A and B are shown apart, each in its own frame.
Chain A
């Protein structure tokens, strides 16, 4: 009997596991979908007019309308372009400064206090100055984003380089690695996991700062859509722009994880997700 039960049970167990693989990520969708459905039904039943908080169907229509006219793509691309440049500059500067201050105690003592002091300034406070210095067009926006990206990357890289295990570095010394070889074969791989986290934190701040930058006089960009929606009383457009931000933010973050994952397969991690 047991043999029969096992034979019958095996394919069932496999399909159950397959179903679990599909269903488990879907669990995360449960709450937002339920909330959206609830609001849609509430507005349809006339419990609310939905004017200030548009129901999902209206947001969807606005979103598709914006997409159909090409407006959405135009604004999204403008924003993406700014974030890309700001992120690139911020990451470059953060990596170089972080690596040097992490590696050299003297540079750390000279440079780090100043950078930490600058970090404590709310970055939006720079905006008026940046506009005076770099004008109201792209340069000041990109620089603001770069400043936002710089600090988490700087801190992450510096901390990672400083905490590389001395014992592992000693292995490099035993095998007589030269300076560049030590960096390439020991330090770089050792800081990789923290570096990816720093990049993700930096990218998150980049998306935050692009909104701030676009609030301050832009004629394109998702941030402009937000302001435009507020001034013309179009809440659905605001929510549609917010959704676009969410999609772009999540996608770019996922891209970093995807690109980094082949370099991090060695990690001995607690979580496997």
Chain B
């Protein structure tokens, strides 16, 4: 069980990126976090990963407080971030340096097989397409068999076909390995295709605005009425969350304008 307990993040320059985020993600659950830009969704993912520990509250995985990156938590970024000087197989096995060689080899071969890139094992990253590179990045994150896999807008740089393909791929991997998935996206369709639960965030400071369960049977049909129903609900929540932010900004502005007026 992954638990965020009143997690907040204030940057040294005083900007509050996250404020009092509390949530629990069950083992094997797929939580998709969605929200306008700058709402702190990536920041939240980074606090869970241990790369940027929270400044308030704590992140707990199965009773362990997360303050630094751990083997049980894998992460896939928006860019593949492959190491260009390692061939694909060595990139996939990058996190297994401490394992015996034979174990490493079988795990890498298994992961490459899962993402369908066995024939690319000896290739340099520069020779991969964008979608292939992101699949390698997913394989690299999965190879240490993490309990939690974090995905930070992993498909946002890909074209629509490749994106849909990788979403299916990710669901297959999840069905096999059942890690907890926490994924950040700004694509509503993607959220509904993947999620067990959708969390809408609101900006300034980043807070949980609304949680929407998404329990359609898989595989999900994008054309179905049920899909559309959830989609309308998510869009409405997103709209409201943005309105709130705008309203708050307007609330602040007149005062600022009055203060600024002294100058004239």
Q: Mark B69-96, 1 if CB is under 8 A from A, else 0.
A: 1110011010101011111000000110
The size of the chain B interface, using a CB distance under 8 A, is 22
Other-chain contact of A174, B49, B84, B85 (Cβ < 8 Å) = B49
Are B75 and A174 neighbours in the complex by a CB distance under 8 Å?
Answer: yes
Are A167 and B77 neighbours in the complex by a CB distance under 8 Å?
Answer: yes
B97 at interface, CB cutoff 8 A: yes
Q: Mark B198-211, 1 if CB is under 8 A from A, else 0.
A: 00000000000000
Q: Name the A residues within 8 Å of B227 (CB-CB).
A: none
The size of the chain A interface, using a CB distance under 8 A, is 19
Q: How far is the CA of A190 from the CA of B83 in the complex (A)?
A: 9
**CB closest residue in chain A, given B144:** A175
**CB closest residue in chain B, given A174:** B69
A217 at interface, CB cutoff 8 A: no
Q: Name the A residues within 8 Å of B94 (CB-CB).
A: 171, 175, 185
**CB closest residue in chain B, given A177:** B97
**CB closest residue in chain A, given B124:** A266
With A170-B51, A268-B126 as known contacts, state yes or no: A176 contacts B68, CB within 8 Å: yes
Q: Name the B residues within 8 Å of A167 (CB-CB).
A: 77, 79, 81
Q: Name the A residues within 8 Å of B71 (CB-CB).
A: 176
Other-chain contact of A170, B81, B97, B124, B125 (Cβ < 8 Å) = B81
**CB closest residue in chain B, given A263:** B85
Q: How far is the CB of B126 from chain A (nearest CB, A)?
A: 4
**CB closest residue in chain B, given A181:** B97
Are B84 and A175 neighbours in the complex by a CB distance under 8 Å?
Answer: no
Q: Name the A residues within 8 Å of B87 (CB-CB).
A: 266
Q: Mark A152-176, 1 if CB is under 8 A from B, else 0.
A: 0000000000000001101101111
Are B85 and A266 neighbours in the complex by a CB distance under 8 Å?
Answer: yes
Are B69 and A176 neighbours in the complex by a CB distance under 8 Å?
Answer: yes
Q: Name the A residues within 8 Å of B126 (CB-CB).
A: 266, 268
With A167-B79, A181-B97, A266-B124 as known contacts, state yes or no: A173 contacts B86, CB within 8 Å: no
Q: How far is the CA of A267 from the CA of B97 in the complex (A)?
A: 23
Q: How far is the CA of A168 from the CA of B81 in the complex (A)?
A: 6
Other-chain contact of A268, B70, B83, B84, B86 (Cβ < 8 Å) = B84
Q: How far is the CA of A65 from the CA of B216 in the complex (A)?
A: 91
A70 at interface, CB cutoff 8 A: no
Q: How far is the CB of B121 from chain A (nearest CB, A)?
A: 15
Q: Name the A residues within 8 Å of B97 (CB-CB).
A: 175, 181, 185
With A167-B77, A266-B126, A268-B126 as known contacts, state yes or no: A174 contacts B51, CB within 8 Å: yes
Q: How far is the CA of A170 from the CA of B152 in the complex (A)?
A: 14
Q: How far is the CB of B129 from chain A (nearest CB, A)?
A: 14
Q: Name the A residues within 8 Å of B85 (CB-CB).
A: 189-190, 192, 263, 266
Q: How far is the CB of B155 from chain A (nearest CB, A)?
A: 17
With A167-B81, A168-B81, A266-B126 as known contacts, state yes or no: A175 contacts B95, CB within 8 Å: yes
A186 at interface, CB cutoff 8 A: yes
Q: How far is the CA of A192 from the CA of B86 in the complex (A)?
A: 13
Other-chain contact of A186, B68, B69, B83, B125 (Cβ < 8 Å) = B83
Other-chain contact of B81, A171, A185, A265 (Cβ < 8 Å) = A171
Q: How far is the CB of A181 from chain B (nearest CB, A)?
A: 7
Q: Name the A residues within 8 Å of B124 (CB-CB).
A: 265-266, 268
Q: How far is the CA of A270 from the CA of B232 in the complex (A)?
A: 48
Are B83 and A168 neighbours in the complex by a CB distance under 8 Å?
Answer: yes
Other-chain contact of B84, A170, A176, A181, A266 (Cβ < 8 Å) = A266
Q: How far is the CA of A180 from the CA of B97 in the complex (A)?
A: 14
Q: Name the B residues within 8 Å of A175 (CB-CB).
A: 69, 94-95, 97
Q: How far is the CB of B244 from chain A (nearest CB, A)?
A: 32
Output the residue of B51, B85, B126 with the most chain A CB within 10 A: B85
Q: Name the B residues within 8 Å of A173 (CB-CB).
A: 51, 69
Q: How far is the CA of A175 from the CA of B83 in the complex (A)?
A: 13
In the assembled complex, 23 residue pairs joining A and B whose CB atoms fall closer than 8 Å, in A order, are: A167-B81, A168-B83, A170-B51, A170-B77, A170-B81, A171-B81, A171-B94, A173-B69, A174-B49, A174-B51, A174-B69, A174-B74, A174-B75, A175-B69, A176-B68, A176-B69, A176-B70, A181-B97, A263-B85, A265-B124, A266-B84, A266-B125, A268-B84
Q: Give residues in B with beta carbon < 8 Å to A.
A: 49, 51, 68-71, 74-75, 77, 79, 81, 83-87, 94-95, 97, 124-126
Contacts A167-B79, A174-B74, A268-B126 known; 19 new A-B pairs at CB < 8 A: A167-B77, A168-B81, A168-B83, A171-B94, A173-B51, A174-B69, A174-B95, A176-B69, A176-B71, A185-B97, A189-B85, A263-B85, A266-B84, A266-B85, A266-B86, A266-B125, A266-B126, A267-B84, A268-B84
Q: Give residues in A with beta carbon < 8 Å to B.
A: 167-168, 170-171, 173-176, 181, 185-186, 189-190, 192, 263, 265-268
